[in-house]
Amino acid sequence: MNQLPRTSAFFALQAEVADVLSTEAHLLDDRQYNEWLDFLAEDIVYFVPMQRNVEVGTHAERETTREGKDMHWFEDDKWTLTKRVEQILTGVHWAEEPYSRVTHLTTNTQIVTAEPSVDDATIVEARSRFIVYQNRVEYEEYYFVGKRTDTLRRVDTEIGWELVRRDVTLDQNVLLAKNLTVFL
């Protein structure tokens, strides 16, 4: 497993990162989209590949669409994510007008790596699990459930960290939703 030693500094850092992810979830659920964009680094990569059903032994090669090569649900940079927010805020983006009700649950947050060290980390990689619930108009309900690996960089902001990279494994093959207007 090669995991970091479970020291008190490790647990403090882990709690700090879990708190950051909760803050981010609140920004999204509270529709503070521009504040959420401020949490994203200028060089962010937001990556949500697709998942295939493949034969045992071929998962490494075939299960997940490949970054930089294949089609995905998302492989966005900051410009594109900013466009997505701008679109929601036009008031005529019918897939989010009226707004959906969305709640992000993040859990199982664990620090995987910390650079240069757990004691004075400026770059952290954290994995977590999420449930994103979306209720739309009257009867529409969607659950997006999966795994995240986030890279966070320490910065001098109120939150104290910015999101540099998010890898999302969404546990669906055929997407069981008409749209992905929510940020995962």
Binding site for another protein (CB under 8 A): 48-50, 52-55, 58, 62, 65-66, 68-76, 79-80, 83-84, 86-87, 90-97, 173-181
Least CB distance to another protein at residue 22 (A): 25
Least CB distance to another protein at residue 48 (A): 8
**Whose CA is closest to 33, among 90, 94, 98, 86?**
86
45: its two tokens: 């990569």
Least CB distance to another protein at residue 171 (A): 15
Assess contact for 50 and 74: CB atoms under 8 A. Answer: no
State which residue, 125 or 167, has the beta carbon closest to another protein. 167
State which residue, 109 or 181, has the beta carbon closest to another protein. 181
State which residue, 77 or 120, has the beta carbon closest to another protein. 77
What CA–CA distance (Å, rounded) separates 139 from 147? 26
State which residue, 111 or 168, has the beta carbon closest to another protein. 168
Least CB distance to another protein at residue 123 (A): 26
What CA–CA distance (Å, rounded) separates 159 from 152? 11
Q: Pairing mode, if any, of strands 40-48 and 123-136?
A: unpaired
Least CB distance to another protein at residue 56 (A): 10
Q: Pairing mode, if any, of strands 74-76 and 40-48?
A: antiparallel
State which residue, 119 or 178, has the beta carbon closest to another protein. 178
Least CB distance to another protein at residue 69 (A): 7
57: its two tokens: 């032994």
Count Cα atoms within 13 angstroms, Cβ side, for 51: 12
Q: Pairing mode, if any, of strands 123-136 and 101-115?
A: antiparallel
State which residue, 138 or 158, has the beta carbon closest to another protein. 138
E strand or H helix at 28, and its extent? helix 8-29
